[in-house]
Chains A and B, each alone.
Chain A
Amino acid sequence: MAGARELPPDEVLVQRLRDGDEETFALVLDTWSGSMLRLAMSFVSTRDSAQEAVQDTWLAVIKGIGDFEGRSSLKTWVYRILVNTAKARGTKESRTVPFTSLLPEEEGPTVDADRFRAPGEPYAGHWAVGQKPQPWHIPEDHVLRGEVREVIAEAIDELPPRLRTVITLRDVAGYGSEEVCDLLEISPGNQRVLLHRARALLRRKLEKYLSGAHDVAGGRGRA
């Protein structure tokens, strides 16, 4: 699975695409389309529309590869086309995700305040008794690991669009913060608030999952 991410360097990729090497095209198509689909979902209202945005993007890539100047990475170039394509579709569907400022629900603590000692108590602001995070064991068994990934995938789908967009770019697609700020035209500070909030929500889901479901499977000898 990890192998799917190992692509040749950009110069090689671009040259092969220009030479019409179908195998290389299929490789980038299969490696990137999944996260592109997720990303497109942040801007449009239906899965079909997201599919079409991804298809339109690839068509634009096919036609434009000859003009690609290599000022950014190939992947960034492709993603930028996707964001523009998906944004335009979203506007037509009157579904826009403006990123200029933070929404009120995007501020405030990301960990439930009840988990910390209340102000005025000794050690106020430190983990309350019984509320300290307990170490996890993410199973090594690949079936169970798959279940854990499934929990994450579902949690991402449930995120509000802005949070989903940022975490998809940063943690699924592996972009750095600068690239994401460029791509979405947001400030580094806002980008980080959205990312942190999204990650904290996913961690919470995992915590809930791993402390519940897996006590049964992995709890032998613990109690």
Chain B
Amino acid sequence: MNCNEFVELVTEFLDGALPEDDERRFIEHLAECSGCETYLDQFRQTIATTGELTPDGISADARQQLLSAFRDWQRE
């Protein structure tokens, strides 16, 4: 497997969606190519950092409105 092929298969590999043959070639390449080992590692770090995002929530106003809507609905 070439490096330019390897870099396109990373997501499929991480999803466990590579056909058996390709997965074997992927791992063989990984074992002998430090550049691609780093690439895979960076991909994982990117995914992990993306997972740490705590996006802005809704506005304080909207939050208050929803909380009172919840309260009112439950009371009915």
A212 at the binding interface (Cβ < 8 Å): no
Tally of contacts, chain A with chain B, CB under 8 A: 148
Interface residues contributed by chain A, number (CB under 8 Å): 57
Whether B62 and A116, one on each chain, are in contact in the complex, defined by CB atoms closer than 8 angstroms, is no
Considering the complex, give the chain A residue whose CB is closest to the CB of B43.
Answer: A203
A103 interfacial by beta-carbon distance below 8 Å: no
What total of chain B residues lie within 8 Å of the partner, measured CB to CB?
45
Residue of A nearest to B75 (CB): A20
Q: Identify which of A2, A37, A126, A136 contacts B55 (C-beta below 8 A).
A: A37
Main secondary structure of the interface of B (DSSP, over half): helix
Assess the B58–A109 pair: CB atoms within 8 A: no
Q: Which of B20-60 contact A (CB under 8 A)?
A: 33-36, 38-39, 41-43, 45-47, 49-59
Contacts A25-B67, A153-B53, A199-B46 known; A192 to B38 CB distance under 8 Å? no
Task: Please name 20 further chain A to chain B contacts, defined as beta carbons within 8 Å, in addition to the given A25-B70, A113-B4, A127-B33, sorted by A numbering.
Answer: A1-B54, A22-B71, A25-B66, A29-B63, A38-B55, A55-B62, A109-B8, A111-B8, A116-B4, A125-B2, A126-B2, A126-B35, A135-B38, A149-B53, A152-B50, A171-B51, A172-B51, A192-B17, A196-B10, A203-B42
